[in-house]
Amino acid sequence: MSDMANQVSSQTQGAAASDLQQFRAQVGQVKQQALGLVEGLSDQAFQWRPGPRRWSIAECFEHLNLTVELYLPGMERAIETAQARGWRSNDAVRLGWLGRWMIDTIEPPAKRRFKAPGAFRPQRILPLSEAMPRFMKLRDELEERLRKAEGLDLQRAKIRSPAMPLVRFSLGETFAIVTTHDRRHLWQAGQVKQSADFPRD
């Protein structure tokens, strides 16, 4: 079981606030990691691919941006529903078997490779000067959703998965999945940068 799964499943009464604080801290760490990863890179290096079926750093970032962009509306709807219906709770985030499996599987270092669903596949390659501001803006929006979720019932509020329309995750599970997913693909981008043939500026 991943550290995230252990941490989330072991929380007790009043832990929802600390779960959200933990997720916010992880988003902050992701932003710092991303900035360090691309510091000093040219667009050539940013867009360089280590192989014909391997993503560039730019494609990793576009995939991460698409993922958060697709999840944000569902997060917002779940938060608005919980607020409107008075669903409040201090209970900890609890992971269902599918959420736990996803987090255990995608937590870096990657154990398995997956083909991204169509809507999540990078369709364009933005220059670094556009990709990074977009990355940071979307993480700012994710942090805002985490703040708005404080005090709400993170288990009762549900989100339909953009990747699997028949599957619904709790709001808490969704936060855990999205933050873990960010870490996975930043790790992947870091592996690209460590490739022997990576263009050094």
CATH architecture classification, 3-193: Up-down Bundle (1.20)
Q: What is the pLDDT of residue 201?
A: 65
Query: Does the pLDDT of residue 186 top 90, yes or no?
Result: yes
Q: Average pLDDT of the chain?
A: 90
Q: What is the rounded CA–CA span in Å between residue 153 and residue 170?
A: 9
Percent of the chain with pLDDT over 90: 76
Compute φ and ψ for 99, nearest 5 degrees: -60, -40
CA geometry: angle 46, 121, 49, nearest 5 deg: 30
Dihedral over alpha carbons 34, 39, 42, 43 (to 10 degrees): 20
Of 159, 183, 163, 187, the residue nearest 173 (C-alpha): 159
Of 21, 20, 22, the residue nearest 157 (C-alpha): 20
Neighbour-count burial of 106, counting CB atoms closer than 10 A to its CB (0-12 exposed, 13-18 middle, 19+ buried): buried
The domain locations on the chain are 3-193
3-40 residue pLDDT tens: 454 444 433 334 577 899 999 999 999 999 999 999 99
Q: What is the pLDDT of residue 123?
A: 86
97-124 residue pLDDT tens: 999 999 999 999 877 777 887 788 998 8
- Give the relative orientation of helices 171-193 and 15-38 as an angle to the nearest 10 degrees: 20
